[in-house]
Amino acid sequence: MKIYLGLITAAALTLAACGGESKTAETAPAQQPAASAPVAASVAPAAAESSAPAASEAASAVAPAAAASAECTTVITSDDAMKFDIKEIGIKSGCAQYTITLKHAGKMPAAAMGHNIVITKTADKDGVLADGATAGIATDYVKEGDERVVAHTKLIGGGEETSVTFDTAKLAKDGAYEFFCSFPGHYAMMNGKIKIAD
């Protein structure tokens, strides 16, 4: 074995010795990849940079479609203490439709502590509330066919949940709109802003 090793070592030495040229020839190609590696590396970030915006463009191009299901919804939770858990809704401009789900985490019935979501221009809110109160609980405290109402849910009680989906084209981009509960006396505690926002 030692002889073998010695032969192999000698052979290796011989190769190394007489392979002076071939060795440089070997290192040259070895250096080329090394030299080209930084080039590739420097190209890579450029490629990454150029592909990154393309990727994000693709992502943003996909976003509205994805948004339709994922981002164009919000959940508002209410309770027996006459509260909504959010005060503002910003609708992404990519949402052709928007869905609001209202949950009532309380225990009281709709007749005593009913909540709904009504969306109107801020300027229309007082009239919609007054007419809704007159209309009564039979129509969820919203006057039937009230064209000032952009959208509204039904009135729910504790433990219930309801949703409404509406076309966002009904909201002017720079308009002032509110969402609120139209149960008599609840507006003061249960209102917020809703707008088209990016």
The yes or no reply on residue 186 touching Co ion (CB under 5 A) is: yes
CA of 16: how far to CAs of 39, 45, 68, 90, 105, in Å? 30, 39, 68, 73, 83
- Site residues for Co ion, 121-160, by CB under 5 A, read none
The yes or no reply on residue 187 touching Co ion (CB under 5 A) is: no
Residue 182 CB, nearest approach to Co ion (Å): 8
Residue 167 CB, nearest approach to Co ion (Å): 25
| Reduced DSSP (H G I as helix, E B as strand, rest coil) percent helix, strand, coil of the chain, to 5 | 45, 25, 30
- Rounded Cα distance between 188 and 180, Å, is 9
Nearer to Co ion, 64 or 157 (CB): 157
Which residues are paired to 84 by β-bridges?
78
Q: Of the candidates 142, 181, 194, 196, which one interacts with Co ion according to CB under 5 A?
A: 181
Site string for Co ion, 97-126 (x = CB under 5 A): ------------------x-----------
**CB closest to Co ion, residue no:** 181
- Is residue 74 within 8 A of residue 86, CB to CB? The reply is yes
| 95, two tokens | 């949402």
Report the Cα 178 to chain-centroid distance in Å.
22
| 89, two tokens | 């809704």
Q: Identify which range of 33-41, 44-52, 57-65, 182-190 contacts Co ion by CB under 5 A.
A: 182-190
Q: Of the candidates 158, 183, 187, 196, which one interacts with Co ion according to CB under 5 A?
A: 183
Nearer to Co ion, 155 or 196 (CB): 155
Of 141, 124, 144, 119, nearest to 132 by C-alpha is 141
Residue 50 CB, nearest approach to Co ion (Å): 54
Which stretches of the chain bind Co ion, using CB under 5 A?
A: 115, 181, 183, 186
